Amino acid sequence: MLIKRITVGEIKVPLKVPFKTAVRTVTEVHDLVICIETDTGLAGYGEAPATAVITGDLLGSMRAALDLLAPRLLGRKLMDFNALLLLIQRSVIHHSSLKAALEIALYDLRARAFGVPLYQLLGGGDPQLKTDITISVNDLDVMVKDALRAVAEGFDCLKIKVGGHTWQDDVDSVLAIERAVGPHVALRLDANQGWTAKHAVLVIQAIEKAGVALELVEQPVKADDVAGLKFVTEHTLTPVLADEAVFSTRDALHILATGSADIVNIKLMKTGGISQAIEVASLARLHQRTCMVGCMLESAISVTAAAHFAVAFEDVVSYIDLDGPQLCASSAVDGGMRMNGPWITLPDAPGLGITAVHGLTHIKVFDV
């Protein structure tokens, strides 16, 4: 079974409401979509968002890197799988989202070749997950309204974006949302690197003293401020989650070995794909820590892949943040994960279970 064709295009999907964090505001998903086909007629899908402020990836830079990578994959045997993964990882540095998209398409293909869902190929069991949903940074009344709407839709875990205002505004937002939704709804905070270490401790301790038990606080400080991350972890009771601080297995090993965070966030777009995500999960298991599986602003293609991964590593994955498709106003994907409020269900179909992607533009084809 040989790789015969690689097709790349772009997908645009509007969001229900603008997605606002401490570092950016986004109104649509605008991602690269890759389809890898074999000479037997099988096709596998992958996706990569252009999240410049986090991964450094741009649509143009990913397309340029694909001009280098795609010809190297053409004509290769799909079952030389590890060699293909190494080729992707070693042919260029950085470009983690593009590498993830290519890996996802290959894993999709391999599972289809064996006739099983990807989560089964990876060793997983129950194909159902429960995700949180994001509440964007906004005026306090808007955030409370968005939180109440999410709870009415069945979500009992909210990820509140903070770090875009003063420390008191952040505290007030959390307390107001907690009063509105009640103590039965779990609250996670995500500062998206928006605080200093001292600022983070001030905010978290103020919320703790107010009697609000946060489930976790995500990436309170700058990605490269590991000492600051450790300071926050050691001076608060709330579990601290490292997100932007953990891209590679080396990053994960340093964070875990030094106790700089309690949890690590695995995103396929940061690790560069499923193969590296497996290594990060294994490191977390070795250090007796847990993980979150999250996503960027992505459509159902790559989020479906992340869900398959999370199911396969449920022993070490304790937190799910895969609400990307739920934030979209529509879907261009047939098949794949199904969402019913917070519940994600994976299909029994081979691979990712995706049968078609519609509305692709700027299409380019690489052929043998």
Q: Do the beta carbons of residue 98 and residue 57 sit within 8 Å?
A: yes
Q: Cα(366)–Cα(130) distance, rounded to whole angstroms?
A: 38
Distance of CA 70 to the CA centre of its chain: 24
Given the residues 20, 161, 230, 270, the one annotated as active site: 161
Q: Token pair of 94, please?
A: 């950085």
353: left (phi > 0), else alpha (psi -120 to 50), else beta?
Answer: left
Given the residues 4, 20, 99, 267, the one annotated as active site: 267
Ligand-binding annotation for 321, yes or no, is yes
Ligand-binding annotation for 157, yes or no, is no
Look at the chain and count its residues.
368
Ligand-binding annotation for 244, yes or no, is no
Whether 161 sits among the annotated catalytic residues: the reply is yes
Ligand-binding annotation for 297, yes or no, is yes
Ligand-binding annotation for 262, yes or no, is no
The DSSP H or E segment spanning 173 is helix 167-181
Q: Of 222, 236, 234, which is closest to residue 192 (Cα–Cα)?
A: 222
Ligand-binding annotation for 63, yes or no, is no
Ligand-binding annotation for 328, yes or no, is no
Q: Do the beta carbons of residue 10 and residue 31 sit within 8 Å?
A: yes
Ligand-binding annotation for 224, yes or no, is no
Ligand-binding annotation for 190, yes or no, is yes
Q: Token pair of 58, please?
A: 């741009």
Ligand-binding annotation for 243, yes or no, is yes
Q: Do the beta carbons of residue 332 and residue 13 sit within 8 Å?
A: yes
Helix 59-73 and helix 81-91, axial crossing angle in degrees, nearest 10: 140
Q: Would you list which residues are annotated within the binding site for substrate?
A: 24, 134, 159, 295, 297, 321, 323
Q: Would you list which residues are annotated within the binding site for Mg(2+)?
A: 190, 218, 243
Q: Would you list which residues are annotated within the binding site?
A: 24, 134, 159, 190, 218, 243, 295, 297, 321, 323
Residues assigned a catalytic role: 161, 267
